[in-house]
């Protein structure tokens, strides 16, 4: 029997950071579901497939092989055998990923990938539809949220640290667009599951959020 911690929320709430830390500290396998959609987006860019060409994207799904490995809490993402861990975080990928992830057939294929990656393991998974669609019966269900400007600020700092050339306004606009798109998806839209625990991270430090969520998990799992 596997133990599943599911975390959803919009971009920039700290889901990725928190999930990574908790994965290391609690020995849970981290499955970044957004990375699966980012791989599809990267595949489109590298193969000159226009995001608007839905049919071509769907036709290419069988050619997209995604794998993830967790070593010492660090996650490596593979697309058709190539390590694309960094490549999937570029602004070019970020710009089109929400649109790619809105395609129904892409969602069905990626949810299959995500469920297979979790098979038989104790996992912590973060995304947009984990608590509602991928694992609605997860042992722990959390919705992380934060004020929009604070989220844009966090993303902006993160991107600056990586040396990416982008303005705060561009980051905020991208977040607003993605939020809208993520909430209006036909399938797998971002919403708060009825039985999810709501965690507002706007005024909390990473350490505070981590301790809060660890406490919620420990209560369910036993220390």
What is the C-alpha to C-alpha distance for residues 64 and 109, in angstroms, rounded to an integer?
Answer: 10
Q: How far is the CB of 185 from ligand DC (least distance, A)?
A: 7
The 53-92 site mask, x for binding ligand DC (CB under 6 A), equals: ----------------------------------------
Q: How many residues bind ligand DC (CB under 6 A)?
A: 15
Interface of this chain with ligand DC, residues 191 to 220, rule: CB under 6 A: none
**Beta strand 66-71 pairing with 74-79:** antiparallel
CB 122 within 8 A of CB 53: no
Structure tokens at 35: 């990375």
Judged by CB under 6 A, the residue of 51, 172, 182, 217 near ligand DC is 182
DSSP letter for each residue of 98-109: HHHTT-HHHHHH
The nearer residue to ligand DC, 157 or 218, going by C-beta atoms, is: 157
Indicate which single residue of 20, 151, 178, 210 sits in contact with ligand DC (rule: CB under 6 A).
178
If one asks whether residue 30 binds ligand DC (CB under 6 A), the answer comes out as: no
Distances (CA, A) of 102 to 5, 26, 155: 24, 32, 22
Quote the least distance from Cβ 112 to ligand DC, whole Å.
Answer: 13
- Is 137 exposed, middle or buried, given 0-12, 13-18 or 19+ CB atoms closer than 10 A? exposed
Asked if residue 155 binds ligand DC (CB under 6 A), the reply is: no
Q: Does 188 bind ligand DC (CB under 6 A)?
A: yes
**Among residues 5, 7, 11, 159, which is the contact residue for ligand DC, using CB under 6 A?**
11
Segments in the chain forming alpha helices (H): 15-26, 33-46, 54-60, 91-100, 104-118, 148-161, 168-183, 206-221
Per rule CB under 6 A, is residue 131 in the interface with ligand DC?
Answer: no
Least CB distance from residue 45 to ligand DC, whole Å?
14
Q: Which residues bind ligand DC (CB under 6 A)?
A: 11, 33-34, 37-38, 97-98, 101, 127-130, 178, 182, 188
């Amino acid at each position: 029997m596997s133990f599943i911690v599911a975390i959803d929320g919009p971009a920039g709430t700290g889901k990725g950071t928190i999930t990574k830390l908790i994965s290391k500290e609690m020995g849970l396998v981290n499955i970044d579901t957004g990375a699966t959609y980012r791989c599809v987006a990267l595949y489109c860019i590298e193969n000159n497939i226009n995001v608007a060409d839905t049919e071509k994207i769907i036709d290419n799904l069988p050619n997209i092989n995604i794998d993830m490995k967790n070593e010492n809490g660090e996650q490596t993402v593979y697309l058709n055998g190539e390590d694309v861990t960094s490549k999937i975080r570029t602004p070019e990928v970020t710009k089109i990923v929400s649109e790619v992830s809105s395609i129904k057939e892409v969602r069905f294929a990626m949810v299959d990938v995500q469920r297979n990656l979790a098979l038989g393991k104790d996992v912590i998974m973060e995304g947009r539809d984990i608590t509602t669609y991928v694992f609605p019966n997860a042992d722990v269900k959390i919705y992380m949220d934060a004020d929009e400007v604070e989220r844009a600020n966090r993303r902006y700092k993160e991107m600056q640290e990586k040396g990416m050339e982008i303005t705060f306004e561009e980051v905020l606009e991208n977040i607003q667009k993605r939020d809208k798109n993520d909430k209006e998806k036909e399938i797998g839209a971002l919403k708060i599951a009825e039985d999810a625990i709501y965690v507002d991270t706007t005024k909390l430090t990473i350490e505070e959020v981590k301790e809060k969520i660890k406490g919620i998990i420990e209560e369910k799992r036993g220390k």
